[in-house]
Protein backbone atom coordinates (compact mmCIF):
# COMPACT_ATOMS: atom_id res chain seq x y z
CA UNK A 1 0.00 0.00 0.00
CA UNK A 2 2.79 2.41 0.93
CA UNK A 3 4.61 1.68 -2.34
CA UNK A 4 1.42 2.33 -4.32
CA UNK A 5 0.89 5.60 -2.45
CA UNK A 6 4.44 6.72 -3.23
CA UNK A 7 4.01 5.88 -6.91
CA UNK A 8 0.76 7.85 -7.07
CA UNK A 9 2.42 10.80 -5.36
CA UNK A 10 5.31 10.69 -7.83
CA UNK A 11 2.91 10.47 -10.78
CA UNK A 12 0.96 13.46 -9.47
CA UNK A 13 4.16 15.51 -9.16
CA UNK A 14 5.17 14.58 -12.72
CA UNK A 15 1.74 15.52 -14.12
CA UNK A 16 1.67 18.80 -12.19
CA UNK A 17 5.19 19.67 -13.33
CA UNK A 18 4.31 18.96 -16.96
CA UNK A 19 1.26 21.19 -16.73
CA UNK A 20 3.20 24.00 -15.08
CA UNK A 21 5.96 23.82 -17.70
CA UNK A 22 3.45 24.07 -20.57
CA UNK A 23 1.75 27.01 -18.87
CA UNK A 24 5.05 28.75 -18.15
CA UNK A 25 6.23 28.23 -21.73
CA UNK A 26 3.14 30.04 -23.05
CA UNK A 27 3.54 32.86 -20.50
CA UNK A 28 7.17 33.35 -21.49
CA UNK A 29 6.27 33.29 -25.18
CA UNK A 30 3.56 35.93 -24.73
CA UNK A 31 5.91 38.06 -22.63
CA UNK A 32 8.54 37.79 -25.36
CA UNK A 33 6.36 38.75 -28.32
CA UNK A 34 4.80 41.65 -26.39
CA UNK A 35 8.15 42.81 -24.95
CA UNK A 36 6.70 42.51 -21.44
CA UNK A 37 9.79 41.62 -19.44
CA UNK A 38 8.03 42.24 -16.13
CA UNK A 39 5.82 39.22 -16.90
CA UNK A 40 8.92 37.24 -17.88
CA UNK A 41 10.52 38.06 -14.52
CA UNK A 42 7.35 37.07 -12.66
CA UNK A 43 7.39 33.61 -14.26
CA UNK A 44 11.01 33.10 -13.21
CA UNK A 45 10.39 34.31 -9.67
CA UNK A 46 7.36 32.03 -9.28
CA UNK A 47 9.34 29.06 -10.58
CA UNK A 48 12.17 29.81 -8.17
CA UNK A 49 9.68 29.65 -5.29
CA UNK A 50 8.56 26.13 -6.22
CA UNK A 51 9.76 23.68 -3.59
CA UNK A 52 9.47 20.66 -5.90
CA UNK A 53 11.95 21.15 -8.74
CA UNK A 54 12.72 18.07 -10.79
CA UNK A 55 15.51 18.10 -13.36
CA UNK A 56 13.25 18.97 -16.30
CA UNK A 57 11.80 21.88 -14.34
CA UNK A 58 15.28 23.21 -13.52
CA UNK A 59 16.38 22.95 -17.15
CA UNK A 60 13.34 24.94 -18.28
CA UNK A 61 14.03 27.54 -15.61
CA UNK A 62 17.64 27.87 -16.78
CA UNK A 63 16.36 28.60 -20.28
CA UNK A 64 14.14 31.42 -19.07
CA UNK A 65 16.88 32.85 -16.85
CA UNK A 66 19.27 32.60 -19.79
CA UNK A 67 16.94 34.78 -21.87
CA UNK A 68 16.35 37.22 -19.03
CA UNK A 69 20.07 37.65 -18.29
CA UNK A 70 20.78 38.26 -21.98
CA UNK A 71 18.01 40.88 -22.12
CA UNK A 72 19.31 42.76 -19.09
CA UNK A 73 22.87 42.71 -20.35
CA UNK A 74 21.53 44.15 -23.60
CA UNK A 75 19.88 47.09 -21.83
CA UNK A 76 22.92 47.58 -19.54
CA UNK A 77 21.02 46.54 -16.41
CA UNK A 78 24.03 44.75 -14.99
CA UNK A 79 22.76 44.49 -11.40
CA UNK A 80 19.62 42.55 -12.41
CA UNK A 81 21.56 40.50 -14.96
CA UNK A 82 24.08 39.40 -12.33
CA UNK A 83 21.34 38.51 -9.83
CA UNK A 84 19.61 36.15 -12.25
CA UNK A 85 22.95 34.89 -13.54
CA UNK A 86 23.66 33.64 -10.02
CA UNK A 87 20.22 32.00 -9.76
CA UNK A 88 20.72 30.15 -13.02
CA UNK A 89 24.23 29.00 -12.10
CA UNK A 90 22.82 27.23 -9.02
CA UNK A 91 20.63 25.10 -11.31
CA UNK A 92 23.36 24.59 -13.90
CA UNK A 93 25.77 23.34 -11.24
CA UNK A 94 23.08 21.10 -9.75
CA UNK A 95 22.23 19.47 -13.08
CA UNK A 96 25.91 19.15 -13.94
CA UNK A 97 26.46 17.16 -10.75
CA UNK A 98 23.41 15.05 -11.62
CA UNK A 99 24.89 14.46 -15.11
CA UNK A 100 21.47 15.41 -16.49
CA UNK A 101 21.42 16.12 -20.25
CA UNK A 102 25.09 17.04 -20.17
CA UNK A 103 25.26 18.23 -23.78
CA UNK A 104 22.69 20.91 -22.96
CA UNK A 105 24.32 21.76 -19.64
CA UNK A 106 27.70 22.17 -21.36
CA UNK A 107 26.03 24.54 -23.83
CA UNK A 108 24.59 26.62 -21.00
CA UNK A 109 27.96 26.61 -19.23
CA UNK A 110 29.51 28.06 -22.39
CA UNK A 111 26.71 30.61 -22.75
CA UNK A 112 26.96 31.77 -19.15
CA UNK A 113 30.74 32.11 -19.42
CA UNK A 114 29.91 34.37 -22.36
CA UNK A 115 27.73 36.41 -20.00
CA UNK A 116 30.67 36.72 -17.61
CA UNK A 117 32.70 38.15 -20.47
CA UNK A 118 29.80 40.54 -21.08
CA UNK A 119 30.02 41.68 -17.46
CA UNK A 120 33.76 42.24 -17.76
CA UNK A 121 35.16 42.24 -21.33
CA UNK A 122 38.70 42.58 -19.99
CA UNK A 123 38.43 38.99 -18.75
CA UNK A 124 37.77 37.65 -22.24
CA UNK A 125 41.32 36.23 -22.63
CA UNK A 126 40.81 34.25 -19.40
CA UNK A 127 37.18 33.16 -19.84
CA UNK A 128 37.20 32.75 -23.63
CA UNK A 129 39.02 29.39 -23.74
CA UNK A 130 36.61 27.89 -21.20
CA UNK A 131 33.67 29.11 -23.27
CA UNK A 132 35.08 27.39 -26.36
CA UNK A 133 35.93 24.27 -24.34
CA UNK A 134 32.35 23.75 -23.12
CA UNK A 135 30.87 24.66 -26.50
CA UNK A 136 33.04 22.04 -28.19
CA UNK A 137 32.15 19.38 -25.61
CA UNK A 138 28.49 20.18 -26.10
CA UNK A 139 28.71 20.01 -29.89
CA UNK A 140 30.66 16.75 -29.83
CA UNK A 141 27.89 15.17 -27.76
CA UNK A 142 24.95 16.54 -29.74
CA UNK A 143 25.73 18.30 -33.06
CA UNK A 144 22.01 18.34 -33.93
CA UNK A 145 20.95 20.46 -30.97
CA UNK A 146 19.39 23.79 -31.95
CA UNK A 147 20.64 25.36 -28.71
CA UNK A 148 24.22 24.31 -29.41
CA UNK A 149 24.17 25.48 -33.03
CA UNK A 150 22.69 28.79 -31.91
CA UNK A 151 25.48 29.07 -29.33
CA UNK A 152 28.15 28.55 -32.00
CA UNK A 153 26.44 31.25 -34.03
CA UNK A 154 26.69 33.65 -31.11
CA UNK A 155 30.37 32.81 -30.61
CA UNK A 156 31.17 33.52 -34.28
CA UNK A 157 28.98 36.64 -34.29
CA UNK A 158 30.55 38.33 -31.26
CA UNK A 159 34.13 37.05 -31.53
CA UNK A 160 36.42 39.67 -33.16
CA UNK A 161 37.51 38.76 -36.72
CA UNK A 162 41.20 38.67 -35.71
CA UNK A 163 40.27 35.85 -33.30
CA UNK A 164 38.38 33.92 -35.96
CA UNK A 165 34.91 35.42 -35.59
CA UNK A 166 32.74 35.83 -38.66
CA UNK A 167 29.21 37.14 -39.25
CA UNK A 168 28.94 34.88 -42.30
CA UNK A 169 29.85 31.80 -40.26
CA UNK A 170 27.36 32.89 -37.60
CA UNK A 171 24.62 33.04 -40.23
CA UNK A 172 25.33 29.43 -41.22
CA UNK A 173 25.00 28.29 -37.60
CA UNK A 174 21.74 30.22 -37.10
CA UNK A 175 20.26 28.70 -40.26
CA UNK A 176 21.14 25.22 -39.01
CA UNK A 177 19.59 25.93 -35.59
CA UNK A 178 16.37 27.16 -37.21
CA UNK A 179 16.19 24.13 -39.52
CA UNK A 180 16.54 21.80 -36.54
CA UNK A 181 13.75 23.58 -34.64
CA UNK A 182 11.44 23.61 -37.64
CA UNK A 183 11.70 19.80 -37.89
CA UNK A 184 10.44 19.56 -34.29
CA UNK A 185 7.13 21.43 -33.79
CA UNK A 186 7.49 21.31 -30.01
CA UNK A 187 10.63 23.43 -30.40
CA UNK A 188 9.19 25.96 -32.85
CA UNK A 189 5.55 26.46 -31.83
CA UNK A 190 5.07 29.13 -29.16
CA UNK A 191 8.83 29.12 -28.62
CA UNK A 192 10.69 32.28 -27.70
CA UNK A 193 13.95 30.50 -28.61
CA UNK A 194 12.72 29.94 -32.18
CA UNK A 195 11.60 33.54 -32.70
CA UNK A 196 14.75 34.77 -30.96
CA UNK A 197 16.95 32.82 -33.36
CA UNK A 198 14.99 34.13 -36.34
CA UNK A 199 15.41 37.74 -35.27
CA UNK A 200 19.10 37.15 -34.53
CA UNK A 201 19.45 35.83 -38.08
CA UNK A 202 17.66 38.92 -39.41
CA UNK A 203 20.04 41.17 -37.48
CA UNK A 204 22.99 39.16 -38.77
CA UNK A 205 21.96 39.84 -42.36
CA UNK A 206 21.52 43.50 -41.47
CA UNK A 207 25.07 43.48 -40.06
CA UNK A 208 26.45 42.37 -43.46
CA UNK A 209 24.18 44.84 -45.30
CA UNK A 210 22.01 42.15 -46.91
CA UNK A 211 18.71 43.91 -46.30
CA UNK A 212 16.81 42.03 -49.00
CA UNK A 213 17.32 38.76 -47.16
CA UNK A 214 16.59 40.52 -43.87
CA UNK A 215 13.27 41.68 -45.32
CA UNK A 216 12.34 38.20 -46.56
CA UNK A 217 13.11 36.70 -43.14
CA UNK A 218 11.16 39.48 -41.42
CA UNK A 219 8.09 38.71 -43.50
CA UNK A 220 8.49 34.99 -42.77
CA UNK A 221 8.73 35.68 -39.03
CA UNK A 222 5.75 38.06 -39.03
CA UNK A 223 3.69 35.43 -40.87
CA UNK A 224 4.52 33.03 -38.03
CA UNK A 225 3.82 35.61 -35.32
CA UNK A 226 2.07 38.83 -36.49
CA UNK A 227 2.15 40.25 -32.94
CA UNK A 228 5.93 40.13 -32.55
CA UNK A 229 6.28 43.65 -31.17
CA UNK A 230 10.06 44.12 -31.40
CA UNK A 231 10.25 42.96 -35.00
CA UNK A 232 7.11 44.77 -36.13
CA UNK A 233 7.80 48.11 -34.47
CA UNK A 234 11.60 48.36 -34.55
CA UNK A 235 13.56 45.86 -36.62
CA UNK A 236 11.36 45.58 -39.72
CA UNK A 237 10.95 49.38 -40.10
CA UNK A 238 14.76 49.68 -39.97
CA UNK A 239 15.06 47.11 -42.75
CA UNK A 240 12.50 48.92 -44.93
CA UNK A 241 14.21 52.26 -44.32
CA UNK A 242 17.53 50.86 -45.51
CA UNK A 243 15.80 49.52 -48.64
CA UNK A 244 14.09 52.87 -49.21
CA UNK A 245 10.68 51.32 -48.82
CA UNK A 246 7.64 52.24 -46.76
CA UNK A 247 5.83 49.90 -44.40
Q: How many structural domains are present in the chain?
A: 1
pLDDT value for 18: 38
Q: CA–CA separation, 125 vs 145, rounded Å?
A: 27
pLDDT value for 20: 47
- Which spans in the chain are helix H? 2-33, 37-49, 55-74, 78-98, 102-119, 124-141, 146-158, 167-182, 185-188, 192-207, 211-224, 229-230, 236-243
Domain of residue 96 covers 2-208
Buried b (16+ CB within 10 A) or exposed e, 117-132: bbeeeeebeebbeebb
Asked if the structure places residue 17 within a domain, the reply is yes
- Looking at residue 17, which CATH number applies to its domain? 1.25.40
Mean pLDDT (10-residue bins), the chain, 247 residues = 39 38 85 95 95 92 94 91 97 97 94 87 82 92 92 83 82 95 86 94 96 97 96 95 83
Asked if the structure places residue 238 within a domain, the reply is no
Nearest CA-CA partner of 214 in 189, 194, 243? 243
| Dihedrals phi, psi of 164, to nearest 5 degrees | 105, 0
pLDDT value for 170: 92
pLDDT value for 11: 35
Asked if the structure places residue 224 within a domain, the reply is no
Q: CA–CA separation, 206 vs 247, rounded Å?
A: 17
For the full predicted model, state whether its pTM sits above 0.75. yes
Asked if the structure places residue 226 within a domain, the reply is no
Amino acid sequence: MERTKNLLTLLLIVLMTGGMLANNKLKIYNAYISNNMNSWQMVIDQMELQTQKNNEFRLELINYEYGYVAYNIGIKNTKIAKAYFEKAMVHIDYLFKQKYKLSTIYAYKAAFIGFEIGFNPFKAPFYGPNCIYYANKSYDMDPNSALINNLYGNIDYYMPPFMGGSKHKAIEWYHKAIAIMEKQPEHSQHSWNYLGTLITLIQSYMAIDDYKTAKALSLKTLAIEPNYHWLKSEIYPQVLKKLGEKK
